[in-house]
Copies of this chain bind each other. A is one copy, B any other.
Amino acid sequence: MSDNDNGYWDALSHPTITVNDLQFLEPVPLTDVSIDDDFWSPRIETVRETTVEFVYDRLVESGRIENFRVAAGETDGEFQGRFYNDSDVYKWLEGACYFLATHADPELRDRVDDVVDLIAAAQESDGYLNTYFQLVEPKKKWTNLHAMHELYCAGHLVEAALAHRAATDDDTLFDVAVAFADHIDRRFGPDGEDGVPGHQEVELALVKLYRATDEDRYLDLARYFVDRRGAPDSRLKHEVFNPGEIAGEAYDRVITEDGEYDGTYYQDHAPLREQTTVEGHAVRAMYYYTGAADVALETGDEELVAVLDRLWENMTTKRLYVTGGIGSSHVGERFTEDYDLPTDTSYAETCAALGSVLWNQRMLRLTGEARFADLQSRTLYNALLAGLSLDGTRFFYANPHEMGADGHPLHDEDPNRLAAERQGWFQTACCPTNVPRLIGSLGTHVYATGESAVYVNHHIGSEATVDVAGTRVTLDQDTAFPWEAETTVTVTPADPATFELALRVPEWCDDVTVTVAGDPVEATSCEFLRVEREWTAGDEVVFEAAFPVRFLRGHPKVRSASGAVAVQRGPLVYCLEGTDSPRPLHQVRLRPDGDVGVEHDPALLDGVTVLDLAATVPDLSTWSDEDLYLPDAAVSTERTTVRAIPYYGWANRGPDEMRVWVDAESPSG
């Protein structure tokens, strides 16, 4: 494709789903995929070797694990921290178990099992499990669904338990999760007490549990939570207006200035099937849509898929940072309105990016459409990866897209809102416990299988074994992504077999050439290249393309992008960081029509391809220290180059100025 094509964003805006085309792809289990990738393997190792232990130490220090010990009666003490802190322990467990599943580690296994034993010991005889309520408000369980996160924590328990069982073949935590899920199922639902979670998560966990157990009641309860939300007679609303009866405190953020209920914050403003825009707290929204898509994957609910696709279209065409980040405002960590994508106060929470990766995985499974994998990729390489320091011990909760000189936020007196550097821990530690969950399970995202088809969703070096067309097939992927568009997939069926191999050609490729067993195949970007043939052992699919440097413009309604460009090459969005620039970044005006130098620097930021971009800057010789304002005709500019680095790598060299959107000369078109 040429630069003049609309490309990815065009594809975004014209979704091709028709509900009759639902595909129901199956992910490939983590244990059937082995990642061996120049880009990802070192990152996975860092998280496995460093982050998992680092986070565990923080869980211990902050009392999050001790809470279970106290609840189990094994020691005296008081509940420490916030009421949702159990979830961090579950999320750490889940992530740790993904690593255990693919890498024997007796020490970690012992640590995991100790925590599992503590959790099991803390569970009450009726299956209930939440250390905050058990220790602080035992009489007020299930009285405050809208703010107190019992169901949210339960969801993470279920996910952790399934990961633990898969990694260890031990049923201890699984049994705990089932008992708690059954407790919840007995209490809530069409035949029980009304209610939906204030923070979604349990929906997708219940579908997972349904898949693991084949017990319909879990799917039914998930569907109930998905569909009951937003009802006019909302249970959450009732709690908010009757706070005397509830645990903790009621949210004031869901009451308008006029005293009316507005549940938009947690997507309780309308039934999901009536929603047309992504609204409210971005993490809640992502987990909600993920859970709903999971329900659709199991039920074939075509209406639900159409609803989710409409929401996806709103998000991707109106409310998405170019990095894949979502949720632009720190007030409520939420979506705001169409085209409101400020760069210097961007929230773009790391966990919201993770949620988007999960939702897109489900949409990809539902549809087999490459656009969802493209957005997964955009989010993974940029919005999400930026959340973790290269050394694996520091985290961004919020991800700015612009930072002031010396790392001072440009417009904020509270430096915690937009930190210039990643931090080691947070009172609300959702992001540090989420990153290992995703990095540890990355393998499940790389491939998928359909009916007589195998999908290569992502260009990530790996070996996978899948069953397709009645045959065991090994896929051996070797790739230069994300630095260069060169991938070879070697297909080795146990016996020659006819099936379709669907290789994703990302939007950001040009000049795509593909050969299959030496024969050229037609291919265009932003689609799955589908090759149906009889495959024999050692058949190679060789993919080659160019990664042109793209200068992207934002819609004219996006104020922060006005007059500026963002730079992308391959899946990577780039940024300028002050230390790489000959001038303060506000003086730099990029020339999209200029030459670009592309160079891989193995010594920089653990190895990155840098871009040397053509720019104009003020000619300082026309200014003296004593001039403050000069006529336009008295000043001039000069040409220079500035170095751009991948956005994910910023803020690893100390606090500094940074810009994703850089002023640019007007388009020549």
Contacts and interface: CB of A to CB of B under 8 A. Distances in A.
A627 B316 contact: no
A629 B553 contact: yes
Interface in A556-587: 556-559, 562-563, 565-566, 583-584, 586-587
A29 interface: no
B631 A7 contact: yes
A589 interface: yes
Given A555-B623, A562-B586, A623-B555, A9 B629 contact: yes
Contacts of A60: none
A636 interface: yes
Interface string A591-623: 010000000000000000000000011101011
A411 interface: yes
A532 to B, nearest CB: 32
A300 interface: no
B13 A624 contact: yes
Nearest to A558: B628
A635 B12 contact: no
A523 interface: no
A556 B318 CA distance: 34
A632 B565 contact: yes
Given A313-B626, A566-B629, A628-B12, A5 B584 contact: no
Interface in A476-504: none
Nearest to A339: B628
Interface string A118-155: 00000000000000000000000000000000000000
B345 A411 contact: yes
Interface in A312-365: 313, 316-318, 320, 322, 331, 344-345
Contacts of A618: 553, 556
A4 interface: yes
A216 interface: no
A630 B667 CA distance: 12
A551 B629 CA distance: 10
A633 interface: yes
A21 interface: no
Identical copies of this chain, number:
2
Size category of the A interface is 35 or more
A630 B553 contact: yes
A631 B555 contact: no
A588 B556 CA distance: 10
A669 interface: yes
B563 A633 contact: no
Nearest to A405: B559
Nearest to A318: B628
Contacts of A424: none
Interface string A656-668: 0000000111110
A554 B587 CA distance: 11
A428 interface: no
B637 A555 contact: no
Nearest to A665: B666
Contact of A629 (B3, B554, B632): B554
A495 to B, nearest CB: 46
A418 to B, nearest CB: 11
B562 A587 contact: yes
A386 to B, nearest CB: 18
A14 interface: yes
A3 B566 contact: no
B4 A627 contact: no
Contacts of A550: 631
Given A9-B628, A553-B631, A632-B669, 9 more contacts: A7-B631, A9-B627, A322-B629, A345-B411, A552-B632, A556-B617, A556-B623, A633-B667, A637-B667
29 contacts: A4-B633, A5-B634, A9-B626, A9-B629, A10-B627, A13-B626, A14-B626, A313-B626, A317-B628, A331-B413, A345-B411, A550-B631, A551-B632, A553-B618, A553-B629, A553-B631, A555-B627, A555-B629, A556-B583, A556-B617, A557-B584, A559-B584, A559-B586, A562-B586, A565-B632, A635-B667, A636-B667, A637-B666, A665-B666
Interface of A: 3-7, 9-10, 12-14, 313, 316-318, 320, 322, 331, 344-345, 410-413, 550-559, 562-563, 565-566, 583-584, 586-587, 589, 592, 616-618, 620, 622-637, 663-667, 669
Q: Nearest 3 CB-CB pairs, A to B? A: A13-B626, A411-B411, A636-B669
